[in-house]
Amino acid sequence: MEALLEKIIKDCAPYKTLGRPASYIPELANGDINDLGIYVTCSDGQSFMAGDALKPFTIQSIVKPILLLLCLMDNGPDLVRDKIGVEATGKPFDAINVTEGSLSSSHLNPMVNMGAILMCTMIKGRDSGERFSRLLELTRLLADNPSVELDQKVYLSEKQTGSKNRALAYLLKTYGMIDGDVEEILDCYFKACSIKVTCKDLANIAFTFANRGRHPLSDKRLFPAEYAHFVNAVLVTCGMYDGSGDFAVKVGVPAKSGVGGGIMAVSPTKMGIGIFSPGLDSKGNSIAGIKVLEQLSKEMYLSIF
């Protein structure tokens, strides 16, 4: 497996420089487009890596499946379905013009920014600090890494330049979909996106979803299997932004990307995959990262279709 991963990293290296790091968040613009790494956690307990698999980066939108899981754990699937839709929007992840009429839950899904901001209000806690702390602890548990922490510089950069997300939050408030202070809600969201991880962390998190809620090493149940089914289904239809359909055809596994350059992919019952390469396409997905996943999926027949 390690030889295969090394070959794939080498084959996909030319794609690293075809994209650019996210520039609308100043700290992310400093990303090195020469970085490319992969980590795989397998069902037999073995793990493999190649390239820059242990280099830290911020989780960004890959936190959304974890947010969704925590919302399911706190509220149950019925209430989550009542508050947030599951259909693909067909629009960019930060789109404001999701509907020409009144905004409703059916216009959102958990993998776009507006849906994630709404989910931040559904996490149980006295305030945004406690809600974020619970999210961080769950991330550490799933990653099997107690040292996962907040990247303070990226958090402050997100907070200072987050005008678009503020607009989305106020739109939600206008239609009565969130209560409370918008800045406090957004503080939880900005911190959530600024959690620092590695490909190894993402692979371990992905494997808990691949393993239907069980820990990758101990096999201890961390959450109900039905929640893994819920999250994986949403990842297939919405996880790769408005490029999800094309990704499903070419790769065919539940996955979530982030504008930090990460991709988390779930191969049900087989493996969890974490990839990092900060050069993005116009949709906000890692160009080299998708190529790596595409090649790995073909070599190992990972597609669920």
> What is 2-60+195-299's CATH number, 1.10.10.10, 3.30.70.360, 3.30.9.10, 3.40.710.10?
3.40.710.10
Question: Which strands make up the sheet holding 262-267, listed edge to edge?
Answer: 47-51, 37-42, 271-276, 262-267, 255-257
How many CB atoms are located within 10 Å of the residue 79 CB?
Answer: 13
Residue 94: pLDDT above 70?
A: no
According to the model, what pLDDT value does residue 219 have? 82
pLDDT (0 to 100) of residue 98: 67
Higher pLDDT, 6 or 108: 6
Domain boundaries along the sequence of the chain = 2-60+195-299
How many CA atoms does the CB half-sphere of 145 hold within 13 Å? Answer: 18
Q: Mean pLDDT across the stretch 157-175?
A: 93
Question: For residue range 102-122, what is the model confidence (pLDDT) as tens digits?
Answer: 787 778 899 999 999 999 999
Is the pLDDT at 96 greater than 80? The verdict is no
User: Whole-model pTM?
Assistant: 0.95
Number of neighbouring beta carbons within 10 Å of residue 90: 11
The least confident of 33-37, 222-226, 245-249, 295-299 is 245-249
pLDDT for residue 106: 78
Cα(181)–Cα(241) distance, rounded to whole angstroms?
A: 28
Identify the residue with better confidence: 61 or 215: 61
Predicted confidence band of residue 88 (pLDDT cuts 50, 70, 90): confident
**What pLDDT was estimated at residue 92?**
66
The crossing angle, in degrees rounded to 10, of helices 182-193 and 152-160 is: 140
For the ranges 6-20, 120-134, 212-226, the lowest mean pLDDT is seen at 212-226
Question: What are the structure tokens assigned to 26, written together?
Answer: 């100043």
Task: Kindly state the percentage of the chain with pLDDT values over 90.
Answer: 85
pLDDT at position 68 is 98
Catalytic residues: 61, 64, 189, 241, 259
Average per-residue pLDDT for the chain: 93
Query: Quick one: pLDDT at residue 100?
Result: 61
| pLDDT for 99 | 64
Q: What is the pLDDT of residue 172?
A: 93
Q: What is the pLDDT of residues 140-154, one digit of tens each?
A: 999 999 999 999 999
pLDDT at residue 101, as a whole number: 65
